[in-house]
Amino acid sequence: MPTDQDNPRVAGAGLGIDAGGTQTRWALAAPGGAILAEGTVDGLSALQMATPHGRDAVRATFERLAEAVLQHAHPVRVQAGLTGFGGDGELLQGWLAALLGVAPGDVTLCNDIEIAYRASFAPGEGYLVYAGTGSIGAFIDEHDVFHRAGGRGVVLDDGGGGFWIAREALRHIWRNEDERPGCWQESPMAHAVFEHIGGSDWAQSRQFIYQSERGTVGKLALAVAASAEHDPAARAILVAAGHELARLASALIARFGARPVALAGRAAELHPLIADTMRAALPPTTAFTRTGSRAHHAAARLALV
């Protein structure tokens, strides 16, 4: 296994982790901020820590991540942003410390949205709307206080996120089936959705939506987006997702005043309709940008601060 002595240029590296429901990204940064290496492993959520099965899955993902990271460097500090993280991270911190060979005090955990915000704006500069498996609007003010709009979880809301898009598609399909059994065969979106989940029986849809991890459900949004050019229902769902995301930004603007808005997250990249609809729904004077998924780079650099 490589060590810092084997490769001096990675001595003192910082490790950044951006863990979302569908994918976990990591990056190593050298002193000075240059990115030395990066990669991905399976998605995870801090919410999985509520069950033994979930804890086992998180631990296994951390093990794969550590194995990949240690092929490049032994980091000296770690900054990890985890979706669903609410502040109780002692066990997670201990796992990462042991797997990476650092002191627990050198592992800092926070919500993944805090990392994503700092990848887009300095505190007080603007508003981030993040659409991954879930969705949230975020603002870190000049005093480093975090403010949110949305981000309440996929059961309650998270409009415009991947899970929401998937749920809306299945809702549409099965409501139509209530009225006209078999009509799904006329719908390109239904064909794409059922191909993704493995069949057109209600039992398969029920098992998928109620028994899959939230990140797995969120990936169904890919099938919805892929059918948008041929199915008006899919297009309508993506337009509605754009309006949902605009609502988050509008709530922050109403509370804290006009500032630039950035849109990030994998769900936001599913189809141009989402960002285009969001932009059109915001006040015309609002500066609007789409940002790439580089929160793991920002986390790696924060680890060195």
pLDDT digits (tens, 9 = 90+) for 19-41: 977 789 999 999 988 999 999 99
Note the residue count of the chain.
305
Helix axes of 232-256 and 188-197: crossing angle, nearest 10 degrees: 80
The alpha carbon torsion through 80, 83, 86, 89 (nearest 10 deg) reads -40
Question: In percent, how much of the chain has pLDDT > 90?
Answer: 73
Contact 147, 255 (CB under 8 A): yes
Measured at the CA of 166, the angle between CA 271 and CA 235, to 5 degrees, comes to: 40
293 pLDDT band, cuts 50/70/90, is low
Both tokens assigned to 92: 């997670």
Measured at the CA of 205, the angle between CA 268 and CA 60, to 5 degrees, comes to: 65
Q: What is the mean pLDDT of residues 202-213?
A: 94
Q: Which of 136, 203, 197, 187 is nearest to 166 (CA)?
A: 197
What does the pLDDT read at residue 2?
42
* Beta-ladder partners of 17: 26, 80
Q: What is the mean pLDDT of residues 88-98?
A: 91
Examine the pLDDT at 249 and tell me if it is beyond 50: yes
* Beta-ladder partners of 150: 136
What does the pLDDT read at residue 88?
77
1 pLDDT band, cuts 50/70/90, is very low
What does the pLDDT read at residue 294?
81
93 pLDDT band, cuts 50/70/90, is very high
**Contact partners, residue 188, CB within 8 Å, separation at least 6:** 227, 230, 231, 234
Helices (DSSP H) in the chain: which residue ranges? Answer: 52-69, 90-100, 112-120, 162-179, 188-197, 202-211, 214-218, 221-226, 232-256, 272-281, 295-303
120 pLDDT band, cuts 50/70/90, is confident
Widest Cα–Cα separation across the chain: 68
DSSP 8-state secondary structure symbol assigned to residue 51: S
Calpha distance 210→151 (Å, rounded): 20
83 pLDDT band, cuts 50/70/90, is confident
Q: Three-state SS across 139-152?
A: EECCCCCEEEEECC
What does the pLDDT read at residue 191?
97
Calpha distance 74→5 (Å, rounded): 10
Question: In percent, how much of the chain has pLDDT > 70?
Answer: 96
Both tokens assigned to 275: 């960002």
Q: Which residue has the tokens 């240029």?
A: 9
Of residues 162 and 153, more confidently modeled: 162
**Contact partners, residue 62, CB within 8 Å, separation at least 6:** 92, 95, 96, 99
